Structure 1
Amino acid sequence: MNREILFIQGGGGSADHEADAKLVHSLREALGASYRVHYPLLPNESAPDFGRKNQIGRALSRLQGRIILVAHSLGASMLLKYLSESEVDQEITGIFLLATPFWSGKEDWKQALKLQEDFADKLPEQVPVFLYYCRDDAEIPYDHLLRYRQRLPRATVRELARGGHQFNEDLSLVAADIKTL
C-alpha cells in the first residue's frame, strides 16, 4: 500500500510549479515506489491569499488514508495557515516545511498571508513538524526560521549550510525524515 504525500509548491503559477517539480522529482526518487507524491498545480488567483487556502483544501480532500504534507516557501506558509484555520478531516502523519516565510508587517497585501498569533496551538497535536532551511537562502531571511523555532518549539529543525532556496534540488534529507514516520 502506498503512503500518500501532498507536495504544495512555492509561489504560484506554472513557472514556480516547474521550478519546484525538481524538488518533487528528488523526493520521489529518494522515497521510492512505496510512496505516492501528489503535486497539483496551484495557480495564483485574484484572492488576497492567492487562493491557496481553498486550493490546499481541495487537494487534501482528494486524498484518503494517512497523509504526509510537504510544502515549499509560500506554499509552506499557506499550508500552516490552512492547517491552523481550517477543519481538517484527513489523518495527517507528518508536516515538512521547506524555506517557510514568516509574514509580518502592516502592508495590506500581507494581511491575508499572516498567521494568527496562536497558530501553533491550532496545528494537529501529536503530528511531527519538520522545518528545513538553507543558510544561503537568498529569498527567505534566516530570522524567519528563528521566529518559527520560537513558535514551534516541538518542531525538528534541519539547518543546512548550503542549498539555497531550492535546496540544490535535493530533498534526500526530507525523504530520510519522512521514512522515520
Structure 2
Amino acid sequence: MISILFVQGGGAGTHDDWDNHLVDSLGRALGAGYEIQYPRLPDEGDPQYAGWSTFLRAELAALPGTAVLVAHSTGAAILAGTLAQHPPPQRWGAVVLIAAPFVGPGGWPSAEFTLPADLGAKLPAGTPVHIFHGLADETVPPSHADLYARAVPQARVHRLPGRDHQLTNDLTEVAAAIRAAVGSR
C-alpha cells in the first residue's frame, strides 16, 4: 500500500467543501493500492505558515519515506516552504504541487516565509516533483507555475488548458504522474 499525504488549501470550509472533491477524484483515479491521508489543518480559514508548517512536520515524520506528498493551493506553498526550511532526510515517492502560489519574488508576498530561488536543491535528490496548474485559474495566476519551474528545475510542469483552481475537480493527470513516479522506484 502506497501512502499519500494530501495537504488541503486554505480558506473557510476548504477541507469539507472544496478539497474533499480533489481527494475523492484522486482516490478514484488511483484505484486500489493507495491510501490517502487527508488531515484537517488548523485554522483553515486563516492559514498561518508557522502553525501549518509545525503540523505538516509532524505528519511528515509519521510517513514512510516512500510516501507521496500532494498539496493544493496555499497548502502547497506551505508544504514547499516547510520542505525547504526543514529538508527531509529521505527521498519521497513524489512531491506534487497543485495550483500553488509562489511565495517570493515575482509571486505573492508574505511576511511569514519566502520560497528560496533554489527550492529544488532543498529537496532530496531523486524525488520526482510535479507542478500542476490550470490555465483558467482565477485564484492563483498560472504564471506562478513558471516561478516554480525556475526554482525547481527538475520539476515536470503540467499546464492544463481550461482547468480552474480546483482543476475542475479532476485529478486524473495527477494520478497518472503519481503512478509513473512510484512505478519508477
1:131 alignment partner, SS class: strand
Cα shift readout 1:14-67 (whole Å, capped 9, x = no counterpart): x01121000000000111120000000002288851511111111122223511
1:63 alignment partner, SS class: coil
Report the CA distance between 1:152 and its aligned residue. 1.6
Conserved 8 A contact 2:120-2:154: no
Distance 2:151 2:86 in 1: 19
Partner of 2:59: 59
Distance 1:175 1:6 in 2: 13
Partner of 2:42: 43
Distance 1:86 1:168 in 2: 32
Cα shift readout 1:53-85 (whole Å, capped 9, x = no counterpart): 111111122223511000000111111111111
AA partner of residue 14 (structure 2):
D
Aligned residues: 176
Partner of 1:130: 130
Partner of 1:28: 27
AA partner of residue 94 (structure 2):
G
CA change 1:20–1:58 in 2 (3 A) is: same
Question: Is 94-103 or 60-69 further displaced after alignment?
Answer: 60-69
CA change 1:128–1:47 in 2 (3 A) is: closer
Partner of 1:74: 74
CA change 1:121–1:91 in 2 (3 A) is: closer
Conserved 8 A contact 1:84-1:123: yes
TM-score relative to the length of structure 2: 0.87
AA partner of residue 96 (structure 2):
F
Conserved 8 A contact 1:30-1:172: yes
Distance 1:102 1:125 in 2: 21
Conserved 8 A contact 2:10-2:73: yes
TM-score relative to the length of structure 1: 0.89
Distance 1:114 1:85 in 2: 10
Partner of 2:143: 143
State whether structure 2 residue 148 is matched by structure 1 residue 118. Answer: no
1:11 alignment partner, SS class: coil
AA partner of residue 173 (structure 1):
E
Question: Is 168-177 or 50-59 further displaced after alignment?
Answer: 50-59
AA partner of residue 8 (structure 2):
Q
Distance 2:176 2:121 in 1: 27
Report the CA distance between 1:87 and its aligned residue. 4.2
AA partner of residue 168 (structure 1):
T
CA RMSD of aligned residues (A): 2.0
State, as a whole percentage, how many aligned pairs show the same letter.
36
Partner of 1:7: 6
Conserved 8 A contact 2:6-2:37: yes
User: Of 15, 18, 23, which residue of structure 2 is paired with 1:17?
Assistant: 15
| Structure 1: gaps (5+ residues) | none
Distance 2:87 2:149 in 1: 24
